[in-house]
């Protein structure tokens, strides 16, 4: 639950020219990779549709006086130097999507960041005042991690959490590497384009995103002040058995890897019911079956499984219970089960100074706001470990996400843009910058 304050009745009134410009650009952006007959998109990282939207976005930034650069992992930045030699306030998110996904996830944050910076830059030009810091808009590469793993790849490389060469060598299911995919689009940039050690340093970061949950909508909150991420524990499993004829092999003789994997999938779902409602989320998001033939008992299955909770204790107990199931399945189904990857983190707080800044802005604008945790990861999860960071949410209708029916109302998109603009203005004036 979020702690809410204020009235959600937003008096936007007559939509101004700047708001109309944002909505027009939003409509144009939503057309890239559009899935026919739906409101959703399909534009995975470094796909043709991703390349098209990147070109369009670069032109949009350049038309407003921003210099567009790309670093070696394909992060796309629009830079506006207003105070020569000063560090940059970065605002952004990601344009890539899941397969057949909603058009709001990530993309709203990128376009809102651009328009927030446009508005702040126009105000500064009109007054002739130079801010303390420069402005940058970021489109982070491969946040979703659907085509290339891991997720949040671009911001992980930018912040030094993932080695560049490891990321560039990562391949998709068809064997195409990140390096090859980015080079094919002309999006493989330069090492010294922007970021740590380049002379163009980041001073602070702001990101806005649709909530991907329904608590804000239920509680009448317009601006979510993100103060922490949930804890999580993610696994890669390989289940191995013995290939056999799916018709003639005796049931007692079978060592069915898919059966073993299926038991893990079911166990993950049942784990959630062993805890208080809402305390644990579990999922199996990917299965790869070999040989995946209609007349063959599977000999190998790879699967990804994750546990998420606001409580580290719940995660630890859930892992213990899951490992007990792994031992039982090994014995009962006579299959091998190997953990091929394992990654975990505790509940991860955002800087309270950033939360407080966002709250002051919401109060000044009269926008209903509340503290809220994020279950999903975002590029800000990485950036907050590098520079002071503000993470914001706007409501999702019915909490639908990673789905063609994902939707956020225009009034909430515009309210979020107003809020982000004020946050960027404050950051450019040096708020949170030491």
270-303, pLDDT tens digit by residue?
A: 999 999 999 999 999 899 999 999 999 999 999 9
User: What is 231-345's CATH number?
Assistant: 3.30.70.360
Identify the CA nearest to 142 among candidates 100, 93, 89, 176: 93
pLDDT at 251 > cutoff 80: yes
CA separation (Å) from 292 to 220, 264, 287, 305? Answer: 47, 18, 11, 20
Domain 3-230+348-428 has CATH 1.10.150.20: no
Whole-angstrom Cα distance, residue 383 to residue 159? 7
User: What is the value of pTM for the model shown?
Assistant: 0.91
**Domain limits, CATH 3.40.630.10, in the chain:** 3-230+348-428
**Residues 98-152: pLDDT tens digits?**
999 999 999 999 999 999 999 999 999 999 999 999 999 999 999 999 999 999 9
Residue limits of CATH 3.30.70.360 in the chain: 231-345
Q: From edge to edge, which strands make up the β-sheet containing 336-345?
A: 281-290, 300-309, 231-240, 336-345
- Close Cβ partners of 54 (under 8 Å, ≥ 6 residues apart): 76, 95, 139, 185, 187
* Percent of residues, the chain, with pLDDT higher than 70: 96
C-alpha pair distances (Å), 267 with each of 272, 285, 321: 9, 14, 9
Judged on CB neighbours under 10 Å (0-12, 13-18, 19+), 208 is buried
| Tokens describing residue 184 | 């094919």
Separation of alpha carbons 379 and 324, rounded Å? 34
Peptide bond into 291 cis (omega under 30): yes
């Amino acid at each position: 639950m979020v702690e809410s304050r204020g009235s959600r009745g937003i008096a936007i009134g007559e939509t101004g020219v700047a708001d109309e410009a944002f909505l027009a650009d939003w409509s144009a952006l939503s057309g890239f990779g559009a899935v026919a007959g739906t409101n959703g998109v399909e534009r995975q990282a470094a796909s043709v549709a991703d390349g098209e939207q990147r070109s369009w976005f670069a032109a949009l930034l350049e038309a407003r006086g921003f210099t567009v650069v790309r670093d070696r992992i394909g992060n796309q930045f629009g830079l506006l130097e207003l105070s020569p030699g000063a560090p940059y306030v970065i605002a952004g998110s990601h344009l890539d999507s899941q397969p057949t996904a909603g058009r709001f996830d990530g993309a709203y944050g990128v376009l809102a960041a651009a328009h927030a910076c446009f508005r702040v830059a126009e105000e500064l030009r009109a007054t002739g005042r130079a801010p303390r810091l420069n402005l940058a808009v970021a489109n982070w590469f491969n946040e979703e991690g659907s085509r290339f793993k891991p997720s949040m790849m671009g911001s992980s490389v930018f912040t030094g959490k993932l080695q560049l060469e490891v990321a560039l060598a990562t391949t998709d299911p068809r064997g195409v590497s990140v390096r090859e995919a980015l080079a094919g689009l002309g999006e493989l940039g330069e090492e010294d384009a922007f970021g740590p050690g380049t002379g163009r340093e980041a001073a602070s970061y702001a990101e806005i995103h649709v909530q991907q949950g329904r608590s804000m909508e239920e509680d009448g909150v317009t601006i979510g002040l993100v103060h922490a991420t949930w804890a999580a524990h993610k696994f890669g499993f390989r289940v191995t058995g013995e290939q056999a004829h799916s018709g003639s092999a005796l049931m007692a003789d079978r060592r069915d890897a898919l059966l073993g994997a299926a038991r893990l999938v079911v166990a993950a779902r049942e784990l959630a019911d062993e805890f208080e409602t809402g305390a644990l989320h579990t999922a199996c998001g990917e299965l790869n079956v070999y040989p995946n033939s209609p007349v063959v008992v599977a000999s190998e299955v790879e699967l990804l499984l994750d546990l998420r909770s606001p409580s580290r204790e719940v995660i630890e107990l859930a892992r213990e219970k899951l490992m007990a199931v792994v031992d039982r399945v090994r014995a009962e189904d006579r299959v091998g089960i190997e953990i091929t990857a394992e990654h975990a983190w505790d509940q991860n707080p955002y800087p309270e100074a950033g939360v407080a800044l966002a709250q002051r802005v919401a109060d000044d604008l009269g926008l209903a706001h509340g503290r809220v945790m994020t279950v999903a990861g975002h590029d800000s999860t990485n950036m907050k470990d590098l520079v002071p960071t503000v993470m914001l949410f706007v409501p999702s209708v019915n909490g639908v996400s990673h789905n063609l029916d994902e939707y956020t109302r225009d009034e909430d998109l515009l309210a979020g843009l107003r809020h982000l603009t004020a946050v960027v203005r404050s950051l450019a004036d040096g708020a949170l910058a030491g």
